[in-house]
Amino acid sequence: MPPNRVLYIAGLFMASSVPALAATYGPELQGFQYPYPLAHFSFESQGKTLQMGYMDVPASGKPNGRSVVLMHGKNFCAATWEGSIKALSDAGYRVIAPDQIGFCTSSKPEHYQYSFQQLALNTHQLLEKLGIPKATLLGHSTGGMLATRYALMYPAQTEQLALVNPIGLEDWKALGVPYLSVDQWYRRELKVSAESIRQYQLNTYYVGRWKPEYERWVDMYAGLSNGPGHKRVAWNSALIYDMIYSQPVYYEFKDVQVPTLLLIGTADNTAINKAMAPPEVKAKLGNYAVLGKQVAKLIPHATLVEFPGLGHAPQMEEPARFHQALLQGLNAL
């Protein structure tokens, strides 16, 4: 083989063995492409001018006159609802997908008193600005806790509630999960990497099954966490983790009066700070095959749809199957 051919092959081998440089994004996810046009809602909150990024997608199918508000999870963004936005829009819904304050394309204030009530109020103000008096709320993961709080605060403005593998189906602190201070969470969040995100999601969200399309969302989260605003991102993330741990909605499921659809991947095992729990506690946490059934009995007007063997994000694992169940469920409520 000619020497130059050997050098060429060696060069290809070296290039393929060196990982590509990870993308980084601005503190409000600048540089990451959203699937639909992104708008911003500016408002005053706690003495600050803040902005929420959001997508407002009209019905692409025959309009049914109904609106759906999508509430993302802790390690997700409005963009991760991409498949659900299309499915709902095709079915005739107007779809509003905001990024909550502290997340993704929205403001990350240096000082903010995070509560699910505050985030619900922010979202309610956005819907008022958009002229939406009543909507169906679809919340995933932490977004399920927020959607529940919204339905409790604004029952007259909530047409239906749909919860996709919501966290908060149990009270972790009451079960013995150790408390982490905001400073401890902050130090942990500063160490976030693409590899740690991928490994956590593989084990916790996807039941050990990885698909290439998940990589985009790892890139999104890691690029935000390691970008030029990484300290502010990590600090807000720490404040949000404290909110999630400290503000359970579990005890108020009995007070939810709107029709509710529970969509549960039964192989999910997500629980806040589960890794720090004693072994005997850890073994009992995040058992969604049990938790879904328990909470369906607590909510007065609940319908449970289970996806056996799926994990924390069934809308991403098996989108066609999930969206068929979602649309049928919303029509039946």
Which helix (H) or strand (E) segment holds residue 90: the answer is helix 82-90
Q: Which residues contact 308 (CB under 8 A, 6 or more apart)?
A: 266, 267
Helix (H, G, I), strand (E, B) or coil at 193: coil
- pTM exceeding 0.95: no
Instruction: Compute and round to an integer the Cα radius of gyration of the chain.
Output: 20
Q: What pLDDT does residue 230 have?
A: 97
CA distance 221 to 37: 20
Q: What pLDDT does residue 4 have?
A: 40
Q: What is the DSSP string of 92-107?
A: T-EEEEEPPTTSTTS-
Q: What pLDDT does residue 179 have?
A: 96
Q: What pLDDT does residue 14 have?
A: 32
Going by C-alpha positions, the residue among 58, 272, 63, 282 that lies closest to residue 180 is: 272
> Residue 42 forms beta bridges with which residues?
51
Q: Please report, in tens digits, the pLDDT of each residue of the chain (333 residues total).
A: 443 443 333 333 333 333 445 799 999 999 999 999 999 999 999 999 999 999 999 999 999 999 999 999 999 999 999 999 999 999 999 999 999 999 999 999 999 999 999 999 999 999 999 999 999 999 999 999 999 999 999 999 999 999 999 999 999 999 999 999 999 999 999 999 999 999 999 988 999 999 999 999 999 999 999 999 999 999 999 999 999 999 999 999 999 999 999 999 999 999 999 989 999 999 999 999 999 999 999 999 999 999 999 999 999 999 999 999 999 999 997
Q: What pLDDT does residue 21 have?
A: 52
Q: What CATH number belongs to 36-332?
A: 3.40.50.1820
So where are the chain's domains?
A: 36-332
Q: At what angle do helices 215-225 and 194-204 cross, to 10 degrees?
A: 130
**Backbone torsion region of residue 53, taken as left when φ is above 0, otherwise alpha when ψ lies between -120 and 50, otherwise beta:** beta
Helix (H, G, I), strand (E, B) or coil at 117: helix
> Residue 306 forms beta bridges with which residues?
264
